[in-house]
Amino acid sequence: MGSLPLVKILLLCHLTFGSTFGDTSDNEVYACSLPEDLLTEIESYAPLVDKIINETIYGSFKGSTWQELSMFVDTFGPRFTGTQNLENAIDYMLNRSVNEGLQNVHGEYAVVPHWVRGAESATLLQPRVQKISMLGLGYSLGTVSQGITASAIVVKSFDELQQRQREIPGKIVVYNQEYVSYPKTVKYRSRGASEAAKYGAVAVLIRSITPFSIYSPHTGMMSYEPNVTKIPAACITVEDATLLNRIADRGEELVINIKMEAQNLPSVKSRNTIAEIIGEERPEKVVVVSGHLDSWDVGQGAMDDGGGAFIAWNALRMLNSLNLRPRRTLRTILWTGEELGIIGAQQYIKEHQAEKGNLQFVMESDMGTFTPIGLAFTGSREVGCILEKVMSLMGAINATRLTTPHEGPDIEGWVDMGVPGASLWNANSKYFWYHHSNGDTMAVEDPHALDLGTALFAAVSYIMGDLSIDLPHHA
Amino acid sequence: MGSLPLVKILLLCHLTFGSTFGDTSDNEVYACSLPEDLLTEIESYAPLVDKIINETIYGSFKGSTWQELSMFVDTFGPRFTGTQNLENAIDYMLNRSVNEGLQNVHGEYAVVPHWVRGAESATLLQPRVQKISMLGLGYSLGTVSQGITASAIVVKSFDELQQRQREIPGKIVVYNQEYVSYPKTVKYRSRGASEAAKYGAVAVLIRSITPFSIYSPHTGMMSYEPNVTKIPAACITVEDATLLNRIADRGEELVINIKMEAQNLPSVKSRNTIAEIIGEERPEKVVVVSGHLDSWDVGQGAMDDGGGAFIAWNALRMLNSLNLRPRRTLRTILWTGEELGIIGAQQYIKEHQAEKGNLQFVMESDMGTFTPIGLAFTGSREVGCILEKVMSLMGAINATRLTTPHEGPDIEGWVDMGVPGASLWNANSKYFWYHHSNGDTMAVEDPHALDLGTALFAAVSYIMGDLSIDLPHHA
């Protein structure tokens, strides 16, 4: 997932729903009072849910999400926005979808940015020569070819940056901020360059936004404030950020060289990948099940967001193979350009705004596909109560819990416009160990956890698509 | 620590002592029956142990092992055998020892190998182009300048290698062995090149010997069997070994290019670093407290074995600052050349063999300096019983336990010759996450855990050096 959206989600969306019905893990009885016939209707899906779970966990689909995902990420590797490799990966998924008999398979164009990393390096020159492992940040400018060589100053916070502003001109600023949480700490990556440039810094090196490191740099998106000088920005490892901080604290002068060939090239066309099971009775009404197909240009993008995209896609593939067709249409969307600013999802909203009233429910997985706990939801109280009841059918995979709000950058636009939505809630405490680093590979993904995620997405999307009532949108 | 010694220790040393008195964690009462006056004598050290612990954990030495270690590893970085940097680091420790008032401070020469890594790379060329992160292995030959380009075959074991021997000629062999434990799995790194060369392989890439990875390659020593063609050998990440295995399992051809500038240069002189507190009554009798000062050429060598060397050295510095001088001499030895074959320790034994009878007890820390649990010991039953009693005084730092055998490559030669010895037993379950990788930095080291290790080494070495009786050697 990209980072800015998450911050926004966490800051804003808590207001949307609060904990009115809340997290059922507390074992409280929430004051839901759905009509008896609706409760009975939802309960009647229990045999179908069992069938879906059995097929996914024990049947012919056992292990298939992992198999499909590993074939995909091993074949294409990372799928960075703007690359031909991403387009080839999209073609592959379109073909796979057609071959599997999914319907209305097509790509929908979106114009996406084309930032390229190029060769890059950072080297400590004083007090001793040592290579500094680094990853340039998305949208960063590059340096001149001989690089930027300058004294460096290490700060632990924006406050310290401000306090020491008179030391900044002409310097490289190294941020060694503590990791509090991703949403709270990612501002150093997003805004660190402009904040330092305001005081005359010539480049920034930012401690990677992660709670744990084995000398692993993590990349991600940054942005420049308007009317502030644009300076190159890269992330370094936790280990090197703390090393540089210790050396500076001893009063020794740090001199660093940074070379980056990063460039922002002209935008190119990419595509959101779409495939459906067309609804039996109300085909114009839609449940969206989604993840993003693009990834950062390091690692394999297996976790972010290969796993999410594949539980969504494989959920539809599995329902289709069982000839399970709900009343409404199930639409899997594999978004493009998420990592460089949710580009594909924004384009999709722009083009499909008129269909808002037809959107029954939107789902996404972009916070890892570790063992599922349940769903994270944003929407009205009534839909929350319905979803809570639906989740009570997921006992066989121990994923009955509901929390709020949802965490999904690509469905956020729809949810902000009132469409009820949910994201996979999973045991992702180590997600940021690997996020946006070379460690994001198939080694992180577990076949059984992926099966559970696929089963959950298949069962929930089917029921939401098949319910006798249209779900109300929230204000 | 180097790896081959550990294997040997684990395979051989269990025979030395067995669990006759064993691990006191079992809360069994072992059948020790030391003379009453010896028990009383050991108990009489309790106030002194408390003084040492207080000074190290709460007093003026609080945090000092971490401070000294970080200053050292931040200043010198990795200290690879054969480099001028290691010699500079040795000079620094000799000067620090003199300045701290330690006695008989000197270096003792040892001729050490001079293997250099040079530039190195591995690249997957087919079925798609991707960089493979790697680290060449110590003593490996390099390649010709354009590198070796060949088809690759992936095997999971030496058995599979043998079964598929007809496929091997002209190929690069990739070992994707499972990690069982370091002692059981390290044979692939040590012997993998020669085993593959016997069947005509042209190079080997070996999955790093680690239970956990965030795309981190780990280096280490390898050796060539006599009369077998020498081929280049490097370790790759767990992630890439499993990736290559999956691709091969799908029947796709792997083509890899390996470039290594590695060279074995003529041997050079290095030094073991020695400093003492000369014994008050029997200066010719000696307790050795040791760790190795050299490290691999990646990371900072903070864990392997900066921490071990510094709890040994700082233990003596602290005792000296308190004017605590036992009957016998306490000698800290900071070994050189451990990582390339325990070179410094072997040279030391050769030159000091005649003093064997004067060695009261040898101690080492080379398996991490995480929170101490107690000591791991090899020696006679009588010395085990004495040590068990001594350890009972360490309750204030919760490090009273004793296990067997010791794990210390640099003291192993003496222990094999009958000198009782012990190594630090610490909560090192993550040791091999970082071992011989860029992740071996100060970020692994905890100030309080280092203080505890220093206190333990200081207290035990003082008592063993001050006891009224000479400890018997084992057969």
Q: Is the pLDDT of residue B10 over 60?
A: no
Across the range B228-242, mean pLDDT stands at 98
Torsion, Cα of B461, B462, B463, B468 (10° steps)? 110
Contact B128, B250 (CB under 8 A): no
DSSP code of B138? B
Contact B71, B89 (CB under 8 A): no
B452: Cα within 13 Å, side-chain hemisphere: 24
Across the range A322-334, mean pLDDT stands at 98
Residue A1 pLDDT: 66
A307-321 vs A64-76: helix crossing angle, rounded to 10: 130
Contact B68, B99 (CB under 8 A): no
- pLDDT band at residue B159, thresholds of 50, 70 and 90? very high
Give yes or no on whether B3-115+266-466 and B119-261 have one common fold. no
Q: Is the pLDDT of residue B279 over 60?
A: yes
Q: Is the pLDDT of residue B5 over 60?
A: no
Whats the size of chain B, residue-wise?
475
Token pair, residue B212, equals 């956990």
* A247-to-A152, A159, A244, B133, B377 alpha-carbon distances in Å: 11, 21, 5, 29, 38
- Residues of chain A with pLDDT > 90: what percent? 93
CA angle A394, A397, A401 (to 5 degrees): 55
Taking contacts as CB-CB distances below 8 angstroms, the residues of chain A near B437 are 214-215
Cα B206 to the chain's mean position, in Å? Answer: 21
Residue B30 pLDDT: 56
Cα A152 to the chain's mean position, in Å? Answer: 33
Domain range A118-261, CATH architecture: 3-Layer(bba) Sandwich (3.50)
Contact A394, A56 (CB under 8 A): no
Q: Decide which of B79 and A4 is more confident.
A: B79
* A285-to-A362, A425, B1, B203 alpha-carbon distances in Å: 12, 25, 64, 59
Average pLDDT, chain B: 94
Question: Which residues fall within 8 angstroms of residue A45, CB to CB, at 6 or more apart?
Answer: A390, A393, A459, A462, A463, A466
Q: How many other C-beta atoms can be found within 10 angstroms of the C-beta atom of residue A69?
A: 26
B381-391 vs B36-43: helix crossing angle, rounded to 10: 40
Peptide bond into B159 cis (omega under 30): no
**H or E, element range at A68:** helix A64-76
Contact A423, A364 (CB under 8 A): yes
Task: Return the residue matching tokens 């000088």.
Answer: A229
Contact A42, A463 (CB under 8 A): yes
Residue A453 pLDDT: 98
Domain range B3-115+266-466, CATH architecture: 3-Layer(aba) Sandwich (3.40)
The amino acid at A161: L
Sign of CA dihedral B210, B213, B218, B222: positive
Task: Return the residue matching tokens 């089917």.
Answer: A462
- Cα–Cα distance, A317 to A454 (Å, whole number): 10
Token pair, residue B185, equals 């799995």
B244: Cα within 13 Å, side-chain hemisphere: 33
Residue B172 pLDDT: 99
- Cα–Cα distance, B238 to B242 (Å, whole number): 6
Across the range A251-260, mean pLDDT stands at 98
ipTM of this complex = 0.93
Mutating which of A215, A247, A300, A303 best tests the B interface, going by the most B Cβ atoms within 10 A?
A: A215
Strand arrangement, sheet containing A359-364: A103-116, A263-277, A328-335, A282-292, A359-364, A421-426, A372-378, A401-403
Task: Tell me the pLDDT tens digit for each residue of B243-260.
Answer: 999 999 999 999 999 999
Task: Return the residue matching tokens 């007809």.
Answer: B166
Q: From its phi and psi, is residue B181 left (phi > 0), alpha (psi between -120 and 50) or beta?
A: beta
- Cα–Cα distance, A233 to A206 (Å, whole number): 8
- pLDDT band at residue B80, thresholds of 50, 70 and 90? very high
* B466-to-A257, B276, B278, B320, B399 alpha-carbon distances in Å: 54, 14, 12, 14, 21
Contact B242 A130 (CB under 8 A): no
Contact B270, B110 (CB under 8 A): yes
Taking contacts as CB-CB distances below 8 angstroms, the residues of chain B near A246 are 70, 74, 442
Q: Is the pLDDT of residue B178 over 70?
A: yes
- Cα–Cα distance, B90 to B74 (Å, whole number): 15
Token pair, residue A298, equals 């390091």
Q: Is the pLDDT of residue A238 over 90?
A: yes
Task: Tell me the pLDDT tens digit for each residue of A127-184.
Answer: 999 999 999 999 999 999 999 999 999 999 999 999 999 999 999 999 999 999 999 9
Q: Is the pLDDT of residue B351 over 70?
A: yes
- Cα–Cα distance, A223 to A383 (Å, whole number): 36
Contact A442 B77 (CB under 8 A): no
Taking contacts as CB-CB distances below 8 angstroms, the residues of chain B near A441 are 215, 239, 243
Q: Is the pLDDT of residue B16 over 50?
A: no
Residue A30 pLDDT: 56
**H or E, element range at A426:** strand A421-426
Taking contacts as CB-CB distances below 8 angstroms, the residues of chain A near B75 are 127-128
B166 touches chain A (CB under 8 A): no
Among B41, B68, B276, B338, which one carries the catalytic annotation? B338
- pLDDT band at residue A265, thresholds of 50, 70 and 90? very high
- Cα–Cα distance, A107 to A98 (Å, whole number): 12
* Nearest by Cα to B190 from B165, B222, B158: B222
If you measure CA to CA, which chain B residue comes closest to A73? B243
Task: Tell me the pLDDT tens digit for each residue of A106-133.
Answer: 999 999 999 999 999 999 999 999 999 9
3-class secondary structure, B18:
coil
What DSSP letter does each residue of B455-466 carry, written as one string?
Answer: HHHHHHHHHHHH
Task: Tell me the pLDDT tens digit for each residue of A363-413.
Answer: 999 999 999 999 999 999 999 999 999 999 999 999 999 999 999 999 999
Contact B439 A214 (CB under 8 A): yes
Among A120, A276, A338, A407, which one carries the catalytic annotation? A338
* Nearest by Cα to B1 from B383, B428, B404: B428
Whats the size of chain A, residue-wise?
475
The CATH number that domain A3-115+267-466 falls under is 3.40.630.10
Token pair, residue B421, equals 């010895």
Average pLDDT, chain A: 94
- Cα–Cα distance, B250 to B241 (Å, whole number): 15
If you measure CA to CA, which chain A residue comes closest to B438? A215
Contact B439 A250 (CB under 8 A): no
Contact B368, B426 (CB under 8 A): yes
Task: Tell me the pLDDT tens digit for each residue of A198-218.
Answer: 999 999 999 999 999 999 999
Task: Tell me the pLDDT tens digit for each residue of B22-50.
Answer: 444 443 445 799 999 999 999 999 999 99
Gap from A116 CA to chain B (nearest CA, Å) = 16
* Nearest by Cα to A461 from A366, A357, A385, A391: A391
- Cα–Cα distance, B372 to B455 (Å, whole number): 10
- pLDDT band at residue A31, thresholds of 50, 70 and 90? confident
Sign of CA dihedral A217, B216, B136, B406: positive
Torsion, Cα of A201, A203, A205, A209 (10° steps)? 90
Residue A2 pLDDT: 59
Closest in B77, B238, B443 to A242, CB measured = B443
Domain range summary for chain B, segments of one domain joined by +: 3-115+266-466, 119-261
Contact B164, B187 (CB under 8 A): no
Across the range A58-82, mean pLDDT stands at 98
Is A338 marked active-site? yes
Question: Which residues fall within 8 angstroms of residue B99, CB to CB, at 6 or more apart?
Answer: none
Question: Which residues fall within 8 angstroms of residue B358, CB to CB, at 6 or more apart?
Answer: B284, B285, B286
Residue B1 pLDDT: 67
- Residues of chain B with pLDDT > 70: what percent? 94
Torsion, Cα of B79, B82, B85, B91 (10° steps)? 100
Contact B441 A75 (CB under 8 A): no
If you measure CA to CA, which chain A residue comes closest to B242? A443
Contact B442 A75 (CB under 8 A): no
Gap from B69 CA to chain A (nearest CA, Å) = 12
Gap from B256 CA to chain A (nearest CA, Å) = 16
DSSP code of B302? I
Residue A6 pLDDT: 42
Q: Is the pLDDT of residue A7 over 70?
A: no
Q: Is the pLDDT of residue A10 over 70?
A: no
3-class secondary structure, A93:
helix
Task: Tell me the pLDDT tens digit for each residue of B114-146.
Answer: 999 999 999 999 999 999 999 999 999 999 999
**H or E, element range at A377:** strand A372-378
Token pair, residue A239, equals 């280990």
Gap from B186 CA to chain A (nearest CA, Å) = 21
Residue B152 pLDDT: 98
CATH fold of the domain at B119-261? Glucose Oxidase; domain 1 (3.50.30)
Token pair, residue B283, equals 């200066």
